[in-house]
Structures are given as C-alpha cells and as structure tokens.
Amino acid sequence: MLQAQDEAIRKADKPREDSNDGDAELGSELLKRLQKMEGIWYSDDFYGSHGREWVQISATLVGAGTSSLVAVKVSGDANVPSGYETWRTRGLPDMGGASVPAQIQIRSDVRDPNGFSWIPGAVMLVADDQIAVTVSRALFSFTGHFFKHTIGEGE
C-alpha cells in the first residue's frame, strides 16, 4: 500500500511531458509585472485639496485569464474613506503603452453614507513607479499621478 502511494506521489511530482515552458515564462513575466504594480502608492494631485493620500494597489483576477488593478484608500477623506476602493481597472496597463479603462469611485454628497457611484476613467503606467489616472466626465477631464512608495522613503 505505501509503495503504491509513493509511486503516485513520484508521478505527480514529475513534470508533464506535454507541459509548455512558454507557459511558465509567460506566467513569470506576468508575475513580474504584477509585483511592479502592487504595493503602496501616493498621490499629491489626484484628490484635490485633501493633499497627499495613500492607496494600496493590488492585482486581482476578474475572469479567465483577465487581471485588473484595484486601488484601496489607506488614508481617506470624506468623499472616499479609508478602506474603500478608489479606482479599479479593466485589464493591466503596459509601461509606456496605452491606457486601460478604469472606474473611479466618487461620493458627491458626503452626508449620504450610501451615495457612492462609479465614473469612467483610464489608467496608464507611465513608469515602473508612476501611474496616471484620468477621470472623464461630460464637460471635464482630469489626470492625477500616483507614485510608488519605496522602503525608507519619507513623506
């Protein structure tokens, strides 16, 4: 009995002959991209008069093979408090490439605890440590910038 279990374990640990090294490389490249984008980021201009605000950016799967970025406020304000999503993308941006569609969460009336809504926008990876987020409304468009926080960096 134990011999049969050992044999089954050895077979499971053996790489499949039909496995594709290209898939592993693709997965490795995707992982590297995600690691560059995930982390603590800050913006001094996206949230207006509220000053510097911090977000935690994470990658998440939204469907079969589709990833997105989600930014959650670490420091918040009356419009979007700490712990709430502030923006999310549909897809992952490529550095220096085209922007990807995004949704930006807003709350027009801070006295309404359920008054959150989403407006269209776009996210572009400008550099390894800089993301541009654009909000698009009927009569107005605004772009703010987020910078990746590095260890040892002060405010």
Per-domain residue ranges of the chain: 38-148
- Percent of the chain, pLDDT > 90? 46
Q: What are phi and psi of 35, to 5 degrees?
A: -65, -35
Q: Are 86 and 72 in contact (CB under 8 A)?
A: yes
pLDDT given at position 124: 95
CA-to-CA distance for 102 and 46, rounded, in angstroms?
A: 15
pLDDT given at position 42: 96
Which carries the bigger pLDDT value, residue 66 or residue 106? Answer: 106
Residue 20's pLDDT band (cuts 50, 70, 90): low
Q: Are 33 and 64 in contact (CB under 8 A)?
A: no
Residue 89's pLDDT band (cuts 50, 70, 90): very high
Q: What is the pLDDT of residues 47-79, one digit of tens each?
A: 888 789 999 999 887 777 778 999 999 998 888
b/e map of 91-127 (b: 16 or more CB within 10 Å)?
A: bbbeeeeebbebbbbebeeeeeeeeeeeeebbbbbee
Grouping H, G, I as helix, E, B as strand and the rest as coil, residue 9 is helix
Question: In this structure, is the dihedral angle defined by the CA atoms of residues 11, 16, 17 and 21, taken in order, positive or negative?
Answer: negative
CA-to-CA distance for 133 and 130, rounded, in angstroms?
A: 10
